[in-house]
Structure 1
Amino acid sequence: MLNLPPRVGSRLNSSQFSNLYTFLVAARHLSFACAADELCLTPSAVSHRIGRLERALSMRLFQRLTRQVCLTEDGKRIFEILQHAVGELSEALQPSSQAEIAGAIALYARPSVAQCWLVPRLADFAERYPLVALDIRVGNDNADFRSGNIDLALYYANGDFPGLVSHKLMDEKMAPVCSPEYARRLGLLEQPGNLRHCTLLHDALAWNNAASDAEWTLWARAHGMLALLPERGITFDRSDLCVVAAMNHAGLAIGRQQLVQKRIDRGELVLPFGGFTQSGHYDYYLVHPPLDPMPRRLHALMDWLHECASQSPLAGGAEPLLG
């Protein structure tokens, strides 16, 4: 049990600044062990440093549970202040606005938009900003901005991001797609009702908390074709895998226009039931924690992404950031 002196006006001395940084790292990870790994200390040393800081400040920063630690209300308040202060200091230490933009950025994206839209465009960014080190990470879970050291996330979502800042990047539309051979074999162009005889290809993780058949249900309901949806199907956890399966005659996939338009233009896919329609408020968003100020390198990346979006099949996202 940590014994704290009575709460009076607390003052920091020079010996506490390293303890403040130790607290910042531990609060970001919510783990003394992970903080110890990052700081090249032992977990016991991390615990002792934070204990000394708590006694110096006369406030408890962590609630110590059996297998984990969590921030107290004071801890949350101090953590937010420190994050802001360190962010401002890091920005101040960057070269002047006249110098080249440099630094590291960790960008998290859903696998399909990374594979089909983002990665093919990265050569242009690397040429424009040779001193920016991009770290591209993909996954179907939500980004952990606190412990994952993620700067920016690119999501296919409905725009609801509590506690985070979001910028709409670009619109999306959807339509069933398949190979020309599959459409011919099942007579889909002549008889749309033959949908009932198809194999449906499902992206089971289309967006956060989506049902495995969410995209097909959304499209079929909008077109009055729910009764025609067959039960036969194959499920994937990525939209681009559905599309690859469709190109190889495995069935019908829901194609997102931003990700499949080039394949349609090349004749690798066809739209057996007509063109693309709105995807039910699901579009692409850039998401990050509140940042004031925003680092110049992150500002540059977001502006570049908006520029790329303006050249995509659907130009209708938000305007690039200014300033």
Structure 2
Amino acid sequence: MLNLPPRLGNRLTGAQFANLHTFAVAARHLSFTLAAQELHLTPSAVSHRIARLEQALALRLFERLTRRIRLTAEGERLYQLVQGLVEDLEEALQTDSASTVSGALTLYARPSITQCWLVPRLAGFQQRYPQISLDIRTGNEAVDFRARHIDLALLYGDGDFPGLVSQLLMAEQLAPVCSRQYAERHGLIDAPEQLRQCTLLHDALAWEHAAFDAEWQRWARQYDAQAHLPSAALTFDRADLCALAASNHVGVAMGRRQLVQPLIDQGLLILPLGDFEPAAGQGYYLVHPPRDPLPLRVRVMMEWLRECAE
């Protein structure tokens, strides 16, 4: 924790509180311009407030670069301190009733699990916690929790997220899937050797740093079927698009049960080579930066997601 100079602690006036708030917004955006827009100030006013805070602290909080700013080590520590104090204050003002838990919550998730699993369940969360303003962001890139002000992430992988806390939400199972029409046309049912005549559909961004065919290769090693994999392939950056293409007779996708089971139930996909099998440690994880305790709004979201997973 940053040890603030005594003279700041002795002079926490309204102006200094305003300067700290301005600093926190600028640090979140890493931009004086965006901070000015949020605070309804001019960029010059934001810059002056930050300068006064730096003078009072006798610390340099930002490095001013040509077209951007970045936090110094002292600035990063102060930002974490201020954010923690704000969240502690928000939580202290909460009542014990779950229905009155309030505040903004940003959840970052991979597009496929958001589309296929999370969004169909969101009405239940909204009904239980109507005072929480939920902001869902999706993407395949690595998560920058601080810069994007993300509270919680729902990620697919093996649970290894360096520097972060991860908890398994639900394990995944894998199996090749395609339409019945495609399977019959290629004689694929119970005949893995016929994969050589097929087009494989790949999620090229299955998890961070994954090879484009990582899931298919993992399945093939498990079933000693590497020799059956064809060279013909079509790649996407989302598993749900692979499943959609498979249901439209494009090829054979590596289906994740949590994503494709509804399409199987509807008869749009079949399992031509047998049932789902565990995905060797792969699953969906709740991931967040180390913090104890977590804000109440984050804890109730995690509890609700676990209920859905069960």
> Equivalents in 2 of 1:296, 1:65: separation in Å?
37
1:249 to partner: Cα distance: 1.0
1:214 to partner: Cα distance: 1.4
Corresponding residue for residue 163 of structure 1: 163
- CA 1:290 to 1:215, structure 2 compared with 1: closer, same or farther past 3 Å? same
1:97 to partner: Cα distance: 4.6
Corresponding residue for residue 202 of structure 1: 202
RMSD of equivalent CA atoms: 1.9
Corresponding residue for residue 66 of structure 1: 66
Answer yes or no: is the 8 Å Cα contact 1:10–1:58 preserved in 2: no
Give runs of ≥4 in structure 1 deviating > 6 Å: none
Are 1:138 and 2:141 counterparts? no
Q: Which amino acid aligns with 2:48?
A: H
Gaps of 5+ in 1: 1-6, 311-323
- CA 1:130 to 1:20, structure 2 compared with 1: closer, same or farther past 3 Å? closer
Provide TM-score, normalisation by structure 2: 0.91
Answer yes or no: is the 8 Å Cα contact 1:84–1:292 preserved in 2: no
Corresponding residue for residue 127 of structure 2: 127
Answer yes or no: is the 8 Å Cα contact 2:190–2:274 preserved in 1: no
Provide TM-score, normalisation by structure 1: 0.88
1:11 counterpart (8, 11, 22): 8
Gaps of 5+ in 2: none
SS in 2 for 1:44: helix
SS in 2 for 1:11: helix
> Equivalents in 2 of 1:278, 1:149: separation in Å?
34
1:45 to partner: Cα distance: 1.5
Answer yes or no: is the 8 Å Cα contact 1:188–1:272 preserved in 2: yes
Are 1:22 and 2:19 counterparts? no
Answer yes or no: is the 8 Å Cα contact 2:22–2:49 preserved in 1: yes
> Equivalents in 2 of 1:8, 1:240: separation in Å?
53
Corresponding residue for residue 178 of structure 1: 178
Corresponding residue for residue 85 of structure 1: 85
Answer yes or no: is the 8 Å Cα contact 1:29–1:146 preserved in 2: no
- CA 1:158 to 1:99, structure 2 compared with 1: closer, same or farther past 3 Å? closer
- CA 1:261 to 1:99, structure 2 compared with 1: closer, same or farther past 3 Å? closer
Report how many aligned residue pairs link the two structures: 304
Corresponding residue for residue 268 of structure 1: 268
Identity of aligned residues (%): 59
> Equivalents in 1 of 2:229, 2:108: separation in Å?
34
> Equivalents in 2 of 1:126, 1:16: separation in Å?
37
SS in 1 for 2:154: strand
Corresponding residue for residue 225 of structure 2: 225
Corresponding residue for residue 299 of structure 2: 299
